[in-house]
């Protein structure tokens, strides 16, 4: 397949969330907004957030304000330390222009967040989110990315189900939707990263969770190659990390997408066993199944001490989630797009 995360695409995606005191930029005010800049591989590159003074030529929408009364902390965050609108929008334009040569606006839904930012840029910075005829400066390319539409088409769902409601927390990086603009922009950026990875997988695999090996490019790609070769059939992680992120442990029979560092899905694996053990209880057989180094227990121990030391801390009695898996399917750069299998539920 042609990867959705290849080095050729240098586009910067500016994922944006807004908070307002009503549904229309023609009648109501933008209170706050935040943007997360990311590349197609899913690296988060920069962030922008601001609180704006309400416009004197706009009014508050009663229904929206009644809703804000149910979210007092979020409303406080959307209105405290407000700054002049013209100053904020000028700073935003400078920030966007500093990201790279090609920037694309993204939001969920684009019709709401995009129109507010478009209107404010047009009114106060002589530019637009949405390009059109005329001589205004262009800071975004194309018509923008609607994350709701991406969700529906990637899921193969009918139009009435094109939404991001009810998705697993893991898909938005376990970032709760708080109605603080920066929190919600980060969540949608995680979701967009996921869509880029799964977009060209068969439908039956697109709803699977990820299994991301290693903590850096060299290590991840090395471990993924071992999985593809059938050498690596086991992995382990700190139980404390699962508990801190409120993540469920893998279950026997559960399948996972294995992406490489570039964000390309390279394999599907299926869990065959799960045990929780202390680090010093891991035996030579499991160490060998991890497939790393010279396959010795000593190499496994030393490598994992280094790994856990730089990822939260190591101790010989720390509890590990020890998982064995089997290889279900592998993907290369020319295959997988043609499948029309039903979506995995």
The pLDDT tens digits of the residues spanning 144-164 come to 999 999 988 888 888 877 777
pLDDT at position 342 over 80: no
**pLDDT at residue 183 tops 80:** yes
According to DSSP, the residues that pair with 320 across neighbouring strands are: 238, 277
> How high is the pLDDT of residue 158?
82
| Residue 262 Ramachandran class (φ > 0 left, ψ -120 to 50 alpha, else beta) | alpha
The answer to the question of residue 76 being in a domain is yes
Whether residues 36 and 120 fall in one domain: yes
* One domain, residues 58 and 177: yes
CA of 315: how far to CAs of 238, 240, 284, 318, 333, in Å?
11, 12, 19, 5, 41
What is the spatial distance between Cα 118 and Cα 343, in angstroms, rounded to a whole number? 35
Asked if residue 213 has pLDDT above 80, the reply is yes
Residue 196 three-state SS: helix
CA–CA separation, 19 vs 30, rounded Å?
6
- Tell me: do 177 and 77 sit in the same domain: yes
Cβ–Cβ < 8 Å for 24, 43: no
Assessment of whether the complete model's pTM goes beyond 0.75: yes
The tens digit of pLDDT for each residue in 109-155 reads 999 999 999 999 999 999 999 876 676 788 999 789 999 999 888 88
pLDDT of 336 higher than 70: no
Residue 278 lies in domain = 209-330
Of 164, 198, 232, which marks where a domain is finished?
198
Residue whose C-alpha is closest to residue 7's, from 45, 38, 40, 36: 40
Residue carrying structure tokens 């009695």 = 317
Structure tokens that stand for 333 in this block: 């750069």
Identify the CA nearest to 30 among candidates 19, 41, 16, 43.
19
| Last residue in a domain, options 179, 198, 217 | 198
Provide DSSP, 130-156.
S--SSS-EE-S-TT-EEHHHHHHHHHT
CA atoms within 13 Å, Cβ hemisphere of 144: 26
Of 174, 252, 260, which is closest to residue 214 (Cα–Cα)? 260
**Total domain count, the chain:** 2
DSSP secondary structure of 168-199: -GGGGTT----S-HHHHHHHHHHHHHHHHHHT
What confidence score (pLDDT) does residue 8 get? Answer: 46
Per-chain mean pLDDT for the chain: 90
pLDDT in tens, 305-331: 999 999 999 999 999 999 999 999 999
Residues 187 and 213 in one domain: no
pLDDT over threshold 80, residue 335? no
Dihedral angle sign, alpha carbons of residues 339, 4, 172, 184: negative
Give the residue, 275 or 1, on which the prediction is more confident.
Answer: 275
Encode pLDDT of 31-72 as tens digits. 999 999 999 888 999 999 999 999 999 999 999 999 999 999
* DSSP H or E stretch at residue 119: helix 115-125
DSSP 113: I
Q: 148: Cβ–Cβ under 8 A, 6 or more apart, which residues?
A: 108, 109, 110, 162, 163, 164
- Name the 3-class secondary structure at 280: helix
Question: How distant is the alpha carbon of residue 162 from its chain centre?
Answer: 18
CATH number of the domain encompassing residue 221: 3.10.400.10
Of the listed ranges 2-11, 172-181, 207-216, the least confidently predicted one is 2-11
The verdict on 152 and 275 lying in the same domain is no
Banded pLDDT at 297 (limits 50, 70, 90): very high
Residues 86 and 194 in one domain: yes
User: Does any domain span residue 311?
Assistant: yes
| pLDDT more than 90, % of the chain | 75
For residue 61, being part of any structural domain is answered with yes
pLDDT (average), residues 90-97: 98
């Amino acid at each position: 397949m042609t990867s959705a995360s290849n080095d050729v695409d240098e586009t910067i995606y500016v994922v944006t969330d807004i908070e307002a005191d009503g549904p229309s930029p023609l009648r109501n005010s933008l209170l706050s907004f935040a943007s997360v800049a990311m590349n197609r591989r899913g690296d988060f590159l920069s962030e922008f957030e601001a609180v704006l003074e309400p416009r004197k030529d706009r009014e508050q929408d009663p229904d929206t304000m009644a809703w804000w009364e149910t979210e007092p902390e979020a409303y406080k965050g959307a209105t405290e330390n407000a700054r002049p609108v013209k100053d904020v929008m000028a700073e935003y334009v400078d920030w966007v222009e500093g990201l790279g040569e090609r920037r694309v606006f993204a939001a969920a839904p684009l019709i709401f967040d995009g129109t507010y930012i478009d209107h404010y840029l047009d009114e106060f910075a002589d530019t637009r989110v949405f390009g059109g005829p005329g001589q205004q400066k262009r800071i975004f390319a194309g018509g923008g990315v609607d994350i709701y539409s991406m969700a529906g088409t990637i899921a193969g769902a009918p139009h009435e189900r094109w939404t991001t409601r009810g998705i697993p927390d893991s898909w938005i990086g376990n970032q709760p939707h708080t109605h603080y603009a920066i929190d919600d922009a980060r969540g949608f950026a995680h979701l967009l990263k996921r869509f880029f990875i799964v977009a060209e997988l068969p439908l039956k695999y697109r709803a699977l969770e990820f299994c991301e090996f290693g903590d850096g490019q060299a290590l991840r790609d090395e471990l993924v190659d071992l999985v593809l070769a059938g050498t690596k059939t086991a992995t382990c992680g700190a139980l404390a990390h699962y508990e801190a992120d409120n993540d469920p442990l893998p279950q026997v029979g559960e399948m996972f997408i294995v992406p490489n560092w570039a964000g390309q899905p390279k394999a599907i694996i299926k869990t065959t066993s799960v045990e929780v053990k202390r680090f010093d209880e891991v035996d030579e057989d499991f160490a060998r199944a991890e497939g790393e180094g010279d396959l010795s227990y000593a190499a496994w121990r030393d490598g994992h001490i280094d790994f856990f030391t730089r990822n939260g801390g190591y101790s010989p009695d720390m509890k590990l989630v020890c998982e064995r898996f089997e290889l279900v399917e592998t993907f290369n750069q020319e295959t997988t797009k043609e499948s029309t299998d039903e979506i995995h539920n």
